[in-house]
Structure 1
Amino acid sequence: MTKITIKETQNPTILKFEFEDFIAQNESYEFKNIDDAKASPLAQKLFHLPFVKTVYISGNFVAVEKYSIVEWEDVKDAVAEQIEAFVNDGGVIIAVQENKTKKQPITVYGETTPNPSALKFVVSRMLTKNAIEFKNIDQTGPSPLARELFNFSYVKEIFIDENYISVTKYEVISWEEITLELRSFIKQYIENGGTVLDESLIQTIEKDEKNKDASFDSLDETSQKIINILEEYVKPAVAADGGNIAFDSFEESTKTVKVILQGACSGCPSSTFTLKSGIENMLKSMLNDEKINVEAINA
């Protein structure tokens, strides 16, 4: 028997009705009216309720946006009961569609990082050659997976690079409560052919040294040396912790190197120590310049 759990969202007009299992696999749906909802008999059923404005189906939940004519407190239990009754009577949530992709078994496991708010989910195959960070759902055009992950209310930021996805959470919930849920979701999403990252849609305005500057050759010699040091010695180390450090600029007059912290590095309590005791000392030694200092700027 299906049992629905009611969850609030950051939008007071939208309520989530969660299932115990995934119901939409690697697709997300948004229906604005009963005609628009032909792919979902359940959504069509919900549109018979006069206060239903929009129905969203994704992952393991159905989210309903209401008109202001009612308060959720007065109708949420009835909606949950209606969804439960519909599904338990054999009702179809999403109409069966031809499976376009063959299931590709993978493994996904979680790794802790120096940042207690970030966890690294390592996948058994390459995901991308381009590191990319998403601070909110509006930035997720190139990544359908990132968009899906932001549907989890506790997800704050997402960073994707090589074969891992680094997720930063809000402090209101512990990793013990959500790690299995996230790991299972990522595994099932990728196995069912979901797109992790569309490389063609990555915008060139990314704050990455290769995109920020017109060309590597146009930089001064010291900046080039700094980039090479970061690429060869620093990035592999921070990538192992689910993060990334990108070169932003070098100011000759003040000997200041500015870098961008991404993924698990962003907001990490130990990032200042990493910058000052690690990268800064390395640059001083390898550039033979004791006046070098390193500063982090917001991504």
Structure 2
Amino acid sequence: MRGTTSSLWRLARRARLPFQPPTHCNKNNTPLSIARPFHRNAFSSSPYPLPFRFFTGQRRSMFIEAQATPNPSSLMFYPGKPVMDVGSADFPNPRSAMNSPLAKSLFAIDGVTRVFFGSDFVTVTKSEDAAWEFLKPEVFAAIMDFYSSGQPLFLDSQSAAAMDTAIHQDDSETVAMIKELLETRVRPAVQDDGGDIVYRGFDPDTGIVKLKMQGACSGCPSSSVTLKSGIENMLMHYVPEVKGVEQELDAEEDGAALSGEMM
């Protein structure tokens, strides 16, 4: 009966209708509710919900906590389980998510535009016209379904994110210092905001370090400030060879930025 109630609730949420739990009557024809009450903040429009509990068919409970990020279009979801063992994974569009069952199921939710995997969290980014009030329950359900299914995070085990800041034997001393600073000083702070930063190269002739923002940090209004006022100043302070930092954009982001400049 619990599964029936959950299905009715999910259908009601997708139809944007108030959920009316089914009732049974006792021998005196007095209605008896058979629905388990949900947390009162589960459907709140606030981006700061309290932990949410789901009950699986195996009668096991799972807590999923949502947390706001500096980007109002992104939320971090903590399933209470490890997500990425090493590194991180960014999915800027549905095409890039075909190799991950979890990312693919999240993109199947109407309004989801980007997915990011961190060490113990999943960041979901929505479109401007989508409302978290309706998206959060569906994201909760998708994450719960994935972890109860026993599927791997990636269909191809080789798809795990490469360690971009790993220091190689052929790296110069300057590049090694840049990677070490990014890994120890920058990455932990950026991941706390539901995103990540990826090292994409250093040009010794110009002194420019190329970085790519991922997750909630991609498209965030404060990402350019973070790059210039935070990361650039720190790298220039510790590594004199660094003269500046540039952000590398996806093809979609580059096109959006170009159209914004033309307008």
Give the shorter-chain TM-score range: 0.5 to 0.7
Determine the C-alpha separation between the residues in 1 that align with 2:217 and 2:148: 28
Secondary structure of the 2:237 match is: helix
Contact map agreement 2:165 2:183 (CA 8 A) in 1: no
| Aligned residue runs from structure 1 range 232-243, under 5 A | 232-243=184-195
Identity %: 33
Q: How many residues align?
A: 200
| Aligned residue runs from structure 1 range 1-299, under 5 A | 20-21=8-9, 105-129=61-85, 130-198=87-155, 200-202=157-159, 209=164, 216-288=168-240, 292-299=243-250
> When you count strand as a share of all residues, which structure comes out higher?
1
Residue 181 of structure 1 and its aligned partner are, at CA, apart by 2.6
Residues 293 and 270 (structure 1 numbering): CA distance in 2 closer, same or farther, change over 3 Å?
same
Gaps of 5+ in 2: 1-6, 15-56, 251-263
Secondary structure of the 1:209 match is: coil
Residue deviations 1:91-145, cap 9 Å, x none?
A: xxxxxxxxxx967643211111111111111121111123111122222233101
- 2:122 partner amino acid: I
Residue 210 of structure 1 and its aligned partner are, at CA, apart by 5.4
Residues 104 and 219 (structure 1 numbering): CA distance in 2 closer, same or farther, change over 3 Å?
farther
Residues 208 and 168 (structure 1 numbering): CA distance in 2 closer, same or farther, change over 3 Å?
farther
TM-score (norm 2): 0.68
Secondary structure of the 1:249 match is: strand
The Cα RMSD (Å) is: 2.7
Residue 176 of structure 1 and its aligned partner are, at CA, apart by 2.6
Residue 193 of structure 1 and its aligned partner are, at CA, apart by 2.7
- 1:179 partner amino acid: K
Residue 218 of structure 1 and its aligned partner are, at CA, apart by 1.5
Secondary structure of the 2:169 match is: helix
Determine the C-alpha separation between the residues in 2 that align with 1:127 and 1:207: 15
Residues 282 and 104 (structure 1 numbering): CA distance in 2 closer, same or farther, change over 3 Å?
farther
TM-score (norm 1): 0.60
- 1:106 partner amino acid: M
Secondary structure of the 2:76 match is: strand
Contact map agreement 2:201 2:210 (CA 8 A) in 1: yes
Aligned to 2:28: none
Residues 201 and 137 (structure 1 numbering): CA distance in 2 closer, same or farther, change over 3 Å?
farther
Contact map agreement 1:105 1:191 (CA 8 A) in 2: no
